[in-house]
Amino acid sequence: MIMIGSQKIRKVDISNMNVPEVEASDLLSCIFDRLDSSEVGYCVERNYQGYPNILTGDVDLIIGGTSLKCVASHILDVADQNGWDCYQHYIWDKTVFLGLCRDIYPNRFTLTVELFLGARWHGIKFLDGVTVVEQRLKHGITWKPRPAHQIIITVIHHLLYNGCIPEKYRSEITKLIMIEEDEVIDNLKLFFGRKNAEKITGKLIDRDWEYFDRRLGSWLKFSLVMRASAMDPQGFLNDSLKGLISYFRKPEGVLIFVDVPSRLDRQDLMECLLGIMVKWHVFKPPHRKIIDEKIPTSKAKKMINNIVSSGGVVIISNQNISPNAFRYSFPSYKISQKNELIVMSEEARIFKSKLKFDGKKEIIEHVAMAALNSILSHRSTIKK
């Protein structure tokens, strides 16, 4: 059994999916060139090791001292100059989500860039962006955080949002903590107190990963809120209010209906679509979910509304749920196969192929990516 996001899936594994990324790599290089030439202070949070030639999921940038709206404008301008479009954006003064796409499948056709004004939890700062940028280190064509800052960005972010430290980051954290142990404590104590800072740092050194669970995450949230409200009551109130307002101004997500005769093929296609979206951070996280016949219709409709209103993705195979049951600003999409594979946007056909499912993993991936490429390209043409 494989995990995609928070869902268990049957057998489709896209972790080793490999597509040419030259256009996405070129775009990323151009973005870094523009930010440097415009004297925008930034650094990449993590996963920068292979940039620009080796890309992972999305690109997370910490910005210091520059308006995020201004930085987003630079990135969108660079994307436009290189033939890329934006299918979804979410911009406020603390965070930005930019979903970019280009109709170039079978090459990588999407790149997500997220911007953060410092490291934050729902608008509440736990690491200052200006400080991070002032102490950044050059890494190839881009910039990376100093070791202490990278540890805090990764560890605290995942504890506050997910209640754990993902296994894929643990070996790197272990190496970095040996370089700047004291600096980690000095930075953590400003927002969580010395006792918590020393305890967290000690457990990282000991590689006691079981210590980093949801209970610790909940305690750190409480500690962060208490200290932030005491240190700067007005700033805390302003950040919290802006965070609350932004929560209700999220961009609209997307509905994708799947109508494939074979139950196994249908399930494989949905799981592959979901896996690609999670892997490449397609549409605003964290809500991406499959809604099948096992979920009661009334419950499913509520889930769908919540996810779409949060900017996320819903993939639906439940035949009792009709696209006409929902009224959103953007159209839904339907992937179907009878004599040929077709992707529809309401009454318009946006993609067709003679491909037929035969149970092969490569065919399923090809169908999923070709369909998703057409959906993102179509969505980017709709201006709202």
> Could you read off the pLDDT of 158-173 as tens digits, one per residue?
999 999 999 999 999 9
Residue from 61, 48, 46, 56 nearest 24 by CA: 56
The DSSP string of 111-171 is: EEEEEESSEEETTEEEE-HHHHHHT-EEETTEEE--HHHHHHHHHHHHHHHHSS--GGGHH
For residue 79, give the 3-state DSSP assignment. helix
Determine the angle formed by the axes of helices 181-192 and 194-205, rounding to 10 degrees.
140
pLDDT beyond 50 at 1: no
Check which CATH number belongs to the domain holding 294 and give it: 3.40.50
> Could you tell me what percent of the chain has a pLDDT over 90?
63
pLDDT of residue 250: 80
Burial class (CB in 10 A: 0-12, 13-18, 19+), 327: exposed
Would you tell me the crossing angle of helices 170-177 and 194-205 to the nearest 10 degrees? 110
Q: Which of 247, 266, 289 is the last residue of a domain?
A: 247
pLDDT at 341: 87
At 111-141, the pLDDT tens digits run 999 999 999 888 888 999 999 999 999 999 9
Residue finishing a domain among 198, 216, 247 = 247
Tally of domains within the chain = 2
Q: Are residues 259 and 243 in the same domain?
A: no
The whole-number pLDDT of residue 16 equals 63
Q: Which of 215, 247, 279 corresponds to the end of one domain?
A: 247
Residue 282 sits in the same domain as residue 228: no
SS3 257: strand
Q: Are residue 201 and residue 312 in the same domain, yes or no? A: no
pLDDT at 106 over 60: yes
Residue 96 above 50 pLDDT? yes
- What's the mean pLDDT in 326-341? 88
- Average pLDDT, stretch 369-384? 90
Shared-domain flag, residues 197 and 293: no
**Residue 33 confidence (pLDDT):** 98
Statement: residue 4 has pLDDT above 70: no
The boundaries of the domain holding residue 11 are 2-247
The mean pLDDT value for 318-326 works out to 83
What single-letter DSSP state applies at residue 12? -
pLDDT value of residue 5: 42
Confidence of residue 353 (pLDDT cuts 50, 70, 90): confident
More confident residue, 316 or 240: 316
Q: C-alpha angle with apex 37: 34 to 39, nearest 5 degrees?
A: 105
Q: What is the mean pLDDT of residues 361-378?
A: 91
Q: Is 50 exposed, middle or buried (0-12, 13-18, 19+ CB in 10 A)?
A: exposed
Same domain, 291 and 211: no
Residues 234 and 261 in one domain: no
Please indicate, yes or no, whether residues 230 and 331 belong to a single structural domain of this protein.
no
Higher pLDDT, 178 or 287: 178
Instruction: Please compute the mean of the pLDDT values over residues 52-66 and round it to a whole number.
Output: 92
Range in 76-85, 215-224, 233-242 with the lowest mean pLDDT:
233-242
Shared-domain flag, residues 280 and 328: yes
Q: Express as a percent the part of the chain with pLDDT over 70.
A: 93
pLDDT for position 358? 67
Same domain membership, residue 353 and residue 324: yes
Do 143 and 222 have their domain in common? Answer: yes
Q: Is residue 382 predicted with pLDDT exceeding 50?
A: yes
Task: Looking at the structure, tell me whether residues 27 and 123 fall in a common domain.
Answer: yes
Identify whether residues 177 and 271 lie together within a single domain.
no
